[in-house]
Amino acid sequence: MRKQLSIIFVLFAVILVGCNKDELDPEREYFTLWNSCEALTVLQDYVDDVTNPKSPNYIKPEDRIATFDMDGTFVGELYPTYFEYNLLEYRVLDDPSYKDKAPEDVKKTAQEIRDFVREGKKLPDHFDMRHAFAAAKAYAGMTLAEFDAYVKAYASTPANGFTGMTYAQSFYKPMLQVFDYLKDKGFTFYVVSGSDRFICRSLVESLGIAPNRVIGMDVKLVSRGQGSEPGVDYTMGKEEDLLRTDELIIKNLKTNKVLQITQEIGKVPVLSFGNSSGDAAMHNYCLSNTLKSTAFMLIADDEDRDHANREKALSLAKQWEEAGYHVISMRDDFKTIYGDGVEKVDFHF
């Protein structure tokens, strides 16, 4: 018996020595890129509560659903506008393989983006929809593999307005720590963006986010040999590719985000993260949950490390707080935004 106890003791000691600090106290390492702040305290207190089996607010792992907007929430959007707007501008006005083929209405939309970016000219009302229709046309006929490669090629170029970073690297590093934290706490998180679903998939692939956890703007797809024949009548062959068409299905903004969450996830989120009015409906849907829930809005208030408008951001912060959302300040709450070696510089054209 004494010999058996000795063996057990040795094995236990080996296990303890083999554990690293993260395994013994993982929360100590989650938020190294954050300053101590109210938003982070709220998040940690919330997660501690709903993952505690003894708490009346306990949420089962299968119901721990978190939704994240992409642009401006964990991916940069101030270079000097959305990635997908920059991509369309390049495709239509600069890409030698396409610019002479673009329809006139698509050229007009791309020029409106260029005028906004370079001259500060106000975009027309409802431009999000104008862009969506133009983008559907601009990439029509590309296979999904071709489009993915196209997005990644552009994303590999230097991000305008910064040194030391490509578009593909322009993640808010502190927000990536939130992903790791929630994953380890049994949450499943989804990207719910107004940008094209396949653009989002291309950008977040490097983060290990599965394609089926990405929701975004959608265009109709067809198989290569299908033509105009309805999918219920046509059987695609084994060697056929899937092609993008010029038919827009949905622009995933505001209440459309809620509709898509319901269609694709089938559960009401308990956590929601965003940065603009396009995310308010998603937040409100989250806060309607009968389970304990909370929502966060990130504000771009850091004029030193990003191309932000602090006055506008602080005005939005007040609006978000009044709506019942918790505010994350990029200036005050983040130790870094894009990581070491990245510096804000003037835009170049």
What are the helix and strand counts (H, E) for the chain? Answer: 14, 9
What would the two tokens of residue 110 be?
Answer: 């791309």
DSSP-based three-state secondary structure for 216: strand
* Structural contact between residues 275 and 295, judged by C-beta atoms closer than 8 angstroms: no
What percentage of the chain has pLDDT greater than the value 70?
A: 92
At residue 9, does pLDDT exceed 80? no
User: pLDDT (tens digit, 9 = 90+) per residue, 180-205?
Assistant: 999 999 999 999 999 999 999 999 99
For residue 22, what pLDDT is reported? 37
For residue 29, what pLDDT is reported? 83
For residue 160, what pLDDT is reported? 96
**Exposure of 168 by Cβ count < 10 A (0-12 exposed, 13-18 middle, 19+ buried)?**
buried
> Is the torsion defined by CA of 321, 326, 327, 333 positive or negative?
positive
**To the nearest whole number, what is the mean pLDDT of the chain?**
93
Predicted TM-score of the model (pTM): 0.91
What percentage of the chain has pLDDT greater than the value 90?
A: 90
* Structural contact between residues 242 and 234, judged by C-beta atoms closer than 8 angstroms: no
Strands, sheet with 242-250, edge to edge from the N-terminal-most edge strand: 242-250, 214-223, 188-196, 65-68, 271-274, 294-299, 326-329
Q: Report the CATH fold assignment for 24-79+163-216+252-343.
A: Rossmann fold (3.40.50)
Burial string for 234-254 (b: 16+ CB within 10 Å, else e) reads eeeeeeeeebbbbebebbbbb
Query: Cα(215)–Cα(218) distance, rounded to whole angstroms?
Result: 9
For residue 42, what pLDDT is reported? 98
Contacts of 183 (CB under 8 A, 6+ apart): 189
Domain map of the chain by residue range? 24-79+163-216+252-343
